[in-house]
Structure 1
Amino acid sequence: MDNPDELICVGAIAGAYGVHGEVRLKSYTADPEAIEDYNPLTTEDGSRSFDVGIIRPIKNGLSVRLSSVTSKEEADALKGVKLYVPRNRLPSLPDDEFYHADLIGLEVFDTGGTKLGTVKSVMNHGAGDLLEIHGPGLKATVLLPFTLDAVPTVDLDKGRIVADPPEGLFPE
């Protein structure tokens, strides 16, 4: 399960910010400014690498300087580029916390052992994390609250989640 070469997306460039090559960066780290701690960041294919220097927080992100980007045109050309770090550079988490990337693809079973589906994505719309579950018996994806009540067990070693979903969330 643990692949030290696995890349984890920690941010995305939202476009140029100013005229001297700064970019607006969306940070996906729990503490947005901690993204600087993971330097250097690379593109997904590894073709480019950047050191990120935070200038200041701005609306919807951070104003940052990327090493080797010196003009507005270069910054504009990077709009939409996602930035990654190798998995082994991320800190270890306490037992009750998980990286979203580790949850995606896990099979979800109910407390009786019936397979409910697979985690397609992890979302957060402000009120807590939701696991987007999809599977063969589901007409549409189901959003399962990622709380201790609804998801009592996450077993990364076995690649499975045991869920106790609220009544009526999954079809009988």
Structure 2
Amino acid sequence: MNKSRDLVIGIIRGTHGLSGTMKIESTSGEIEHFFSLEEVRVKKGNFNKLFTIELVSGGNPLLLKFSGIESQEDARALNGFEILVPRNLACPLNEDEFYIEDLKNAKLLYYPSIDSNSIEKTSNEKTKQTKKHTKNTASTELFEKEPSIVGHITDVVEGGSGQLLEVALTESVNTLLQKTDIKQKKVFIPFNKEFIGTVDIAKKEVQLMHLWILE
């Protein structure tokens, strides 16, 4: 299993019974691809281990049993851990969708003359708040100036009410905010329509809607 290309497809959310079976939350909201898996990688922090799947069952909730996890106590120790597989084994994408993993290393752009209300009206796509997302394809005619690169997305993490983009800020933020120094070199931005506009996975570019959230 190629770790560098693995995608998160699920999160362990609890135990089921006494034999080590676990409840799984599918991050895409779909479960069909789980039934063809033979092994997965489980990761959290420094823990990173490959497990063979003994059993896949259910649907609400989805249940998994790993070889070597034989008790409720063993299963409970993995609660909250992520389940990863190679990209080709993840949930298939529909047209204009992308994996949340593909946001990593993208440039975060801010357009000084942006009209966020107009952009929202031009986008008829609905974004799924999962690891699989729909592209927002607002017209570039709404942008009057060249964008500034205000940061680079270094990670995507789970927040209390959704996913957060971890962004390493660039020096251009000082100029845009008219400040002499940005104390926080990294910020977390909610990944939703209020703060994020157009996402261009091919160009690795993500549009920031409001500059003030970087302060």
TM-score interval (norm. to shorter): 0.5 to 0.7
Whether the 8 Å CA contact 2:156–2:163 is kept in 1: the answer is no
Match of 2:52 in 1: 49
Q: Which has the higher helix share?
A: 2
Distance 1:164 1:14, change over 3 A: closer
Distance 1:70 1:146, change over 3 A: same
Q: Which contiguous aligned blocks of 4+ residues in structure 1 show a shift greater than 4 angstroms?
A: 76-81, 122-126
Match of 1:117 in 2: 151
Match of 1:165 in 2: 209
Whether the 8 Å CA contact 1:132–1:144 is kept in 2: the answer is no
Match of 1:39 in 2: 37
Q: Secondary structure at the match of 1:98?
A: strand
| Matched residue type, 2:105 | G
Deviation by residue 1:3-38 (Cα, 9 ceiling, x = unmatched): 99711121233453211332222332223x345245
Match of 2:65 in 1: 66
Q: Which ranges of structure 1 fall in alignment gaps of 5 or more residues?
A: none
Distance 1:130 1:22, change over 3 A: closer
| Matched residue type, 2:156 | S
Q: Which ranges of structure 2 fall in alignment gaps of 5 or more residues?
A: 43-47, 112-145, 174-181
- Answering whether residue 193 of structure 2 is matched by residue 147 of structure 1, we say yes
- Answering whether residue 106 of structure 2 is matched by residue 103 of structure 1, we say no
Provide the TM-score with structure 2 as the length reference: 0.56
Distance 1:94 1:18, change over 3 A: same
| TM-fit CA distance, 1:146 | 3.4
Q: Secondary structure at the match of 1:151?
A: strand
d(CA) in 1 for partners of 2:6, 2:29: 17
Deviation by residue 1:26-81 (Cα, 9 ceiling, x = unmatched): 332223x3452452341256632215522353xxxx35242535544553465455
Distance 1:52 1:115, change over 3 A: farther
Distance 1:144 1:165, change over 3 A: farther
Whether the 8 Å CA contact 2:168–2:187 is kept in 1: the answer is yes
| Matched residue type, 1:42 | V
Whether the 8 Å CA contact 2:189–2:195 is kept in 1: the answer is no
Provide the TM-score with structure 1 as the length reference: 0.67
Distance 1:100 1:117, change over 3 A: same
d(CA) in 1 for partners of 2:50, 2:191: 37
| TM-fit CA distance, 1:99 | 1.2
Whether the 8 Å CA contact 2:165–2:189 is kept in 1: the answer is yes
Whether the 8 Å CA contact 1:56–1:63 is kept in 2: the answer is yes
Q: CA RMSD in A?
A: 3.5
d(CA) in 2 for partners of 1:52, 1:38: 11
